[in-house]
Structure 1
Amino acid sequence: MLAFAAVIATAQVTGVNQPPQGNMAGWTQVFLEDFKTDVPLGAFPGNAYGNKWSVYKDGTGVTNRPPTGKYYPSKVISVKDGILREDLHTEDGISMSAAISPLKDGAYLSQLYGKYSVRFKYVAAPGYKYAWLLWPKSNNWNDGEIDFAEGHDQNASAAFLHFEGAPRKQDEFKIPEVDMSQWHTFSCEWTPGKVVFKLDDKIFGTSERAEVPTKPMRMTLQSESCVGSPCPDAGARGLVEIDWVAIYAKQ
């Protein structure tokens, strides 16, 4: 595992990968963020990003069962040199992470079907993870959940389609060897009866079944703690860096 301080010192901050501009075959771009405006710790979303992003409020529990980490964007998120950074760490006994969601016209950007892409990298720390997911607008879990990038290891990741009857009912697609400390683009393409999962534009999983969600969903980028593993030790420190986010509607 790379040392947190070393990654901060050596991170490439510009020119990593240009965000996709405009429409593509079969898809209309409806959202693009490449984090051009710097904001210090504690100032996100603020005036710079408040019309495009929502965050889970400070102190919100990551899960509804103990033990739980807490979302603390004011102590986790900053933006500098075109990169949104999440400093995953513990303060006063609380393991802190963040969750952000794109907005449109002041509300969650929800739609039926779409393509979602996020370019990011991750420095792992035991007890922390990331979960880039689509969540039903209805807030009814039985309407489905699509996790197109989820993991806690430094050298592996996965994607999931959860559907009614889970946690046992799901399609899971593992990527056993991928260096998450390097930049990667994870995407999902959600169409009627089908979800395609991609890593750096290469398909690593396809789910085709009647249980593919059929109601509007929104994207949330969640970093988490105390989920599926013990809570982090006080000295554990992880890092999420997001270069750009793009969302498309199905044409």
Structure 2
Amino acid sequence: MSRRLSRRPVLGALLLAVALLCCAGIAQCARGTAADGVSGVAAPRGDLPGWRQVFVDDFTGDQLSESDWGRYSGKPGGDPASFWLPSHTVVRDGMLTLRGYREFGRMVTGGVGMWPRPQTYGKWEVRLRADPSDDVTFHLLLWPRDEIWPPEIDFAENFGGARDYVDGFLHWTDSGGRRKAQQAVRADFSRWNTVGVEWLPGMVRYTLNGQVWGVETGDRVPNTPMWLALQTQSGGCAKAVEYGVAPCPWVGTPDHTEIQIDWVSVYAPAFPMAGK
């Protein structure tokens, strides 16, 4: 299964790999104490082995940083069942919350993009949880700055239901046309987890709570600047029919569905990357 492109509506690799292995077996590497943060895990501060921290947002206060993020508005490209409004993206109680509920006779959701901060290669981590819902889906991804799709790196997508898995999708183009590769990992995403992606020349690694759970390698891996997108969409039941999986209902669709994000942390490679 894969969601087609969701556009924003407005508007030394070897050395690094060795350094990353030093942290590969350590869950929540360089994290705060269990008592910290809304989610029980504090936003990371400082560099990691092989990575230089370039951005962190723990969503304190009640305003989204407009210099770093943009709210979504309108219909996603390639997904006519969905509709975004800026009012469905809220910063409150130390969290960024993307809300799905019916408005104007349809299910409306929220999303944000970090298009002011594109980069080529890096590491992104997002601490989140999601209310179960059949109709409201969530998608965490890297989107190309030039808006030419593919490529796309989806590092945590859930297409509705009990929130007991996320998919990772890598989209690319070769001589045979547009292609995608899918992987999946199971966990309870109705509870707090840290999802992430590490993107290097010729390698993409999906992470969950500090552990690598999936890897893609080779020419399919992009090398163009990309930015982080955090988005919810509607139409999970319609997508189930399209993908040929068990139809709804699964867990039902509540009147209000929230995807809560405690913090986001972004890193650049600590070593120069060939072709960057």
Decide: shared fold, TM above 0.5.
Answer: yes
Residue 244 (structure 1) aligns with: 263
Q: Which runs of 5+ in 1 are unaligned?
A: 1-11, 40-44
Provide the secondary structure at the position in 2 that maps to 1:163: strand
Tell me how far apart the structure 2 counterparts of residues 64 and 147 of structure 1 sit (CA, whole Å).
Answer: 15
Provide the residue aligned with 1:36 in structure 2.
60
- How many residue pairs get aligned? The number is 222
> Which whole-Å CA distance do the structure 1 matches of 2:152 and 2:254 have between them?
32
SS in 2 for 1:70: coil
- Give, in whole Å, the separation in 2 of the partners of 1:212 and 1:36: 35
* Partner of residue 133, structure 2: 125
Residue aligned with 2:199, SS? strand
Match of 1:145 among 137, 152, 177: 152
Deviation sequence 1:180-223 (CA, Å, 0-9, x none): 11000001000000001010011110001211001111111111
Structure 1 partner of 2:71: 55
Gaps of 5+ in 2: 1-35, 242-247, 271-276
What is the alpha-carbon distance in structure 1 between the residues aligned to residue 38 and residue 189 of structure 2?
A: 18
CA distance in 2, matches of 1:23, 1:90: 42
Q: Which is further off, 79-88 or 224-233?
A: 224-233
Could you state the TM-score of these two structures normalised by the residue count of structure 1?
0.80
**3-state SS of paired residue (1:164):** strand
Partner of 1:218: 227
Alignment pair present for 1:69 and 2:85: no
Give the secondary-structure state (helix, strand or coil) at the position aligned to 1:141.
coil
Q: What RMSD over aligned residues (CA atoms) do the two structures have, in Å? A: 2.5
Offset, 1:229:
4.1
As a proportion of its length, which structure holds more strand?
Answer: 1
**Alignment-derived partner of residue 13 in structure 2:** none
| CA apart distance, 1:13 | 7.1
Q: 1:139 to 1:202 in 2, by over 3 A?
A: same
Deviations 1:142-170 (A, max 9, x none): 3x110010002321111111111699722
CA contact (8 A) 1:198 1:205 kept: yes
Structure 1's 172 and 38: CA in aligned 2 closer, same or farther, altered over 3 A?
Answer: same
2:53 corresponds to which letter in structure 1? Q
Residue of structure 1 equivalent to 2:94: 82
- Give the whole-Å Cα distance in 1 for the aligned partners of 2:264 and 2:181: 24
Contact 1:13 1:83 in 2 (8 A): no
The counterpart of 2:112, out of the listed 100, 110, 135, is 100
